[in-house]
A = this chain, B = another copy of it.
Amino acid sequence: METLRVELGSRSYPILIGEGLLGERALFEQHVRARDTLVVSDTVVEPLYLEALQASLEPRRVVATILPEGESHKTLANVARILDVLVANRFGRDCAVVALGGGVVGDMAGFAAATYQRGVDFVQLPTTLLAQVDSSVGGKTGVNHPGGKNLIGAFHQPVAVVADTRTLATLPARELRAGLAEVIKYGLICDAEFFQWLEAHIEELLAGDAAALARVIRRSCEIKAEIVGRDERERGDRALLNLGHTFGHALESATGYKEWLHGEAVGAGLVMAAGMSRESGYLTAEDQGRVARLVARAGLPTRVANVKPDAALEHMRIDKKVQAGRIRLVLLRGIGSAFVTADYDEPSLHRTLAAHLR
């Protein structure tokens, strides 16, 4: 088992990464102090792992809420269901909410934990690659609104993240590919060497090689923990983690959260961010090509055929990155060198959207 730490003063917490951690009762003994726990999972993950987790949480009281699977169900109404279960079971402020699943489950369970009695303990047990490398770390919780992705939510740090890499063995190939989009993102933001390593090892990752996956999970969490520790509330550098996401969120919103997995939209979003960086004169054609090729090799979309450029732009305008009416973009000066800017021209943005959408 490897242990990383997100350093946030009194809200610091460990990220534990290893094989079979869900079955290690001693681990939960150490990291979950609550005696009443609500496990939130979805219909796909529950039959695979809930029973084992319940055994590991003994002798605590364990109640479970099972939600429908998928991004289109990440709604305020489903968070209200979780809250209803907490109230119905009379859980006190000293309870814990435990997310067992991917990013959707984690975001909703986390938002419920953030708002039940104005905040209770929250434990992340991510079971997808995307959740293990990205969404389970950093305390962003929330739900989608018909008008936009993650528009309603809260910052609420978990007390621990337990990433059991063995759960990736049951992960559908499409979900594995979606997770790789976020992994590629970390290389692009700040680690050219890691990006190069991904170029050399993408096939092993797609084949589910455990050692290669463990490596990318560790490195991704390291980068994310470091950035979040520096800027918990996204007043500065944390915005870099949104590389590809302003474009990606627009694709998700425009298709009603039903067409694309979040990671797939981010994959296309990374290619669009690279395209916009090139259009704006920040990135070389060669580096733009490397981004598009790696995303394509990871089995992710690089263009999207069912979203009109104007519709995407509409959705970008309600994204959280808008300031003083202007969309702030995360762009690339090179592989491993992302930056936030509102300094670009509109025609470049239109050309970029037109080149990748239809």
Contacts and interface: CB of A to CB of B under 8 A. Distances in A.
A153 B115 contact: yes
Q: Is the interface of A mostly helix, strand, loop or mixed?
A: mixed
A322 B90 CA distance: 10
Nearest to A115: B152
Interface stretch (A116-124, A170-178, A198-206, A292-300): A116-124
A308 interface: no
Contact of A154 (B35, B114, B140, B322): B114
Number of copies: 2
A325 B248 CA distance: 45
Contacts of A147: 87-88
A323 B35 CA distance: 11
A145 interface: yes
A154 to B, nearest CB: 6
Nearest to A143: B115
A93 B323 contact: yes
A150 to B, nearest CB: 8
Contacts of A93: 320-323
A325 B317 CA distance: 47
Contacts of A317: 90
Interface string A62-74: 0000000000000
A320 B94 contact: no
A318 interface: yes
B320 A117 contact: yes
Contacts of A87: 145-148, 151, 318
Nearest to A94: B323
Nearest to A83: B152
A177 B150 CA distance: 42
A92 interface: yes
Contact of A119 (B119, B154, B321, B325): B154
Contacts of A305: none
Contacts of A187: none
A76 interface: yes
A294 to B, nearest CB: 30
> Which of A76, A115, A317 is the most central at the interface, judged by chain B CB atoms within 10 Å of its CB?
A115
Interface string A87-122: 110101110000000000000000000111111000
A142 interface: yes
Interface in A130-163: 140, 142, 145-148, 150-155
A324 interface: yes
Interface in A283-325: 317-318, 320-325
A146 B87 CA distance: 9
A48 interface: no
A76 B116 CA distance: 12
6 contacts: A90-B317, A92-B325, A93-B322, A115-B142, A117-B152, A118-B154
Given A92-B320, A94-B324, 14 more contacts: A83-B151, A87-B147, A87-B148, A87-B151, A87-B318, A93-B321, A115-B153, A116-B152, A117-B152, A118-B140, A118-B150, A118-B154, A118-B155, A119-B154
- The 3 lowest CB-CB distance pairs between A and B, nearest first, are A87-B147, A92-B322, A117-B320
